Amino acid sequence: MTDSVKDSGSRVHRGSLEAILGVSVKPEILDLALTHRSYAYEHGGAPHNERLEFLGDSVLGLSMTAELYREYPDHSEGELAKMRSAVVSEVALSKVARELGLGRFIKLGRGEERTGGRDKSSILADTMEAIFGAVYLDQGIEVAEALVLRLIRPLLADPERMSAAHDPKTALQEIAAARQQEPPRYEMTSTGPDHNRVFTATVIVGTLVSATGSGTSKKQAEMAAALEAWTNLNKA
């Protein structure tokens, strides 16, 4: 196996992804973590990353549950559950993945490539979980947990951002009201066949900001757009 991963239309280097992650993973395991089912189906039913995603979801959940339990001894079970839900959500994971530039490393089928799969929140979040699973398989729970905490824990240091990740539409509505703007207005478009439709939402907040987000449902697209708009407003 070569040092690079050939995806649909581009060649990327494993070493650069490992440098970004700060973790080394066996080439065949990392390759599997980056292989979306659309690519696998177009290549004779090759293995894809959904089993690793299933594993990584548990690694992520356990790591963050333990961290919240240790760091917030005075919080109730309900408060801890709400915090965990925010930091392991698709919105939060896809945001982390975008900050890493993960999309360019994913192996996609031609259909997903054409419909913007490299920036689709669901694919980015699922691949992030698959990488956590891959690191666990190759390096064990301590290294996997350290990676999870390094990438996800920063959300805990920003309670407002964490709350926004949990419910970005409400958070955006609140900041719009605080700045005396009209409620956020959403516009929706979609592409692709009915069984594989991608929705793109554009949210407009008065004269302050507009932002877009995509997802496999209208709700996901609106949430992604709302979080992007909220983030941009808080940078202003």
Per-residue pLDDT 10s for the chain (236 aa) are 333 344 443 344 566 899 999 999 999 999 999 999 999 989 888 899 999 999 999 999 999 999 999 999 999 999 899 889 888 988 788 889 989 999 999 999 998 888 788 888 788 999 999 999 999 999 999 999 999 999 998 877 776 676 677 788 998 999 899 988 889 999 999 987 777 788 899 999 988 888 888 887 898 889 888 988 888 887 75
Sequence ranges of the chain with CATH classification 3.30.160.20: 168-235
Residues assigned a catalytic role = 57, 129
CATH architecture for residues 3-158: Orthogonal Bundle (1.10)
| Domain at 168-235, CATH from 3.40.50.2300, 3.30.160.20, 2.40.420.20, 3.40.50.920 | 3.30.160.20
Positions at the binding site: 53, 126, 129
Q: Tokens 């039913």 correspond to what residue?
A: 45
Report which of 89, 67, 90 is spatially closest to residue 80, judged by C-alpha positions. Answer: 67
Q: What is the pLDDT of residue 51?
A: 96
User: What distances in angstroms separate CA 236 from CA 29, 81, 182, 197, one per listed residue?
Assistant: 41, 31, 18, 33
Instruction: List the alpha helices (DSSP H) in 72-178.
Output: 77-87, 90-100, 110-114, 121-139, 141-152, 159-166, 168-178
Sequence ranges of the chain with CATH classification 1.10.1520.10: 3-158
Positions at the binding site for Mg(2+): 53, 126, 129
User: What distances in angstroms separate CA 65 from CA 46, 79, 165, 219, one per listed residue?
Assistant: 34, 12, 17, 26
